[in-house]
Amino acid sequence: ADEDRVSQLRRAIQRLRQNDPHFKGFSLRAAETAISVELICEFLEVLKRNTFFEELSIFFSLLQAQQCMRPLLDTLVENRTLKRLGLNHCELGVEDVRPLARLLATNAPTIIHLGIEGNQFGDEGTLLLLDGLRTNSTLVSLNLSNNNISMVAVRAVADFMAANTPLAELDVGENEFGAEGAEVLAEALVRNTSLVKLSVYRCVIGDGGAIAFARALPFNTTLLSLSIWRNGIETEGARALLDALKENLTLRKLDVDMNGGIPAAMKSEIFDCLNNPARLAAAGSEADTKPAREIPLEPRD
């Protein structure tokens, strides 16, 4: 398997050198393999001058992250085509996030989608990223899931949401900030007019968090998707959400799956409400008339 990964990376480097217009994405799974830091850096160096490449997912080990983050940042400065960057489960710490945040603040990268989930850099790293993004005008999608975020960072995320940055998609799932965090995010959602997708799954928000979002939904007219699956929500929270859907006619997807306390009949009610013909007509374009369940869900385990 290691030899296959190394061979794949060498082929990727060759295609980048050739500036192959059909080679637009690659998943660099370097962690737990025999891929050397030198080979990773060679890939990043060649990527600087490529004019077609758009999507890169990287999985670093701790040692690789320590030695390759600086070359990666240099590449982000020079490459003008990369749009989607995934740095998920790379064991990034605060000191790795700090220069990335400074770079994002300059608008130098062309990145519009940044996934940085599963790095456990906590509140301090999250605050650094958000501070860098305050002056960024290009990023539209940010995944901060599974980073050990607590109320300190959640309040900063809420302030960021309320500021109505260009951000359209935000994922803060798998951070156990509970109902208190959900209440803060819901308050920001009332003032937000830019987000179309918000993911708050596996955050232990319970009925209290669900009710907070239910109170916010009638005041928001831009959100299309709210994912709050596996959150310990029961009948009370689901009922509040169902009532909110009668006042909010723009939400197209409300994912409450894997909340065992919600009766199946009530989940069906929510689905039927989202797909009611009158609601779909009020929502607008023909593109929005597909059943809500056809919208892709986040991966689950």
Answer yes or no: are the C-beta atoms of 255 and 226 closer than 8 Å: yes
Q: What predicted TM-score, i.e. pTM, was given to this entire model?
A: 0.91
CA dihedral 84, 87, 89, 90 (to 10 degrees): 160
**pLDDT tens-place string over residues 159-182:** 999 998 899 999 999 999 999 999
**pLDDT tens-place string over residues 188-238:** 999 999 999 999 999 999 999 999 999 999 999 999 999 999 999 999 999
Arithmetic mean of pLDDT over the chain:
91
Q: Say if residue 301's pLDDT is above 70.
A: no
Give the bridge partners for 115, in sequence order: 86, 143
Q: Say if residue 2's pLDDT is above 90.
A: no
Count other C-beta atoms under 10 Å from residue 203's C-beta.
Answer: 26
Answer yes or no: are the C-beta atoms of 180 and 207 closer than 8 Å: no
**pLDDT tens-place string over residues 92-129:** 999 999 999 999 998 777 899 999 999 989 999 999 99
* pLDDT for residue 110: 87
* pLDDT for residue 15: 98
* pLDDT for residue 294: 31
Local confidence band at 79 (pLDDT 50, 70, 90 cut-offs): very high
* pLDDT for residue 34: 78
Distance CA 253, CA 10 (A): 42
**pLDDT tens-place string over residues 244-297:** 999 999 999 999 999 999 999 999 999 999 998 878 887 664 344 333 333 333
Give the bridge partners for 253, in sequence order: 225
Local confidence band at 300 (pLDDT 50, 70, 90 cut-offs): low
The helix (H) or strand (E) run that includes residue 213 is: helix 206-216
Q: Say if residue 54's pLDDT is above 80.
A: yes
Distance CA 129, CA 38 (A): 28
Answer yes or no: are the C-beta atoms of 253 and 224 closer than 8 Å: yes
Please give the DSSP secondary-structure letter assigned to residue 246.
Answer: T
Of the CA atoms within 13 Å of residue 229, those in its CB half-sphere come to: 14
E strands of 90-241, at which residues?
A: 113-115, 141-143, 169-171, 197-199, 225-227
Count other C-beta atoms under 10 Å from residue 273's C-beta.
Answer: 18
Q: Sheet holding 169-171: strands in order across?
A: 25-29, 55-59, 84-86, 113-115, 141-143, 169-171, 197-199, 225-227, 253-255
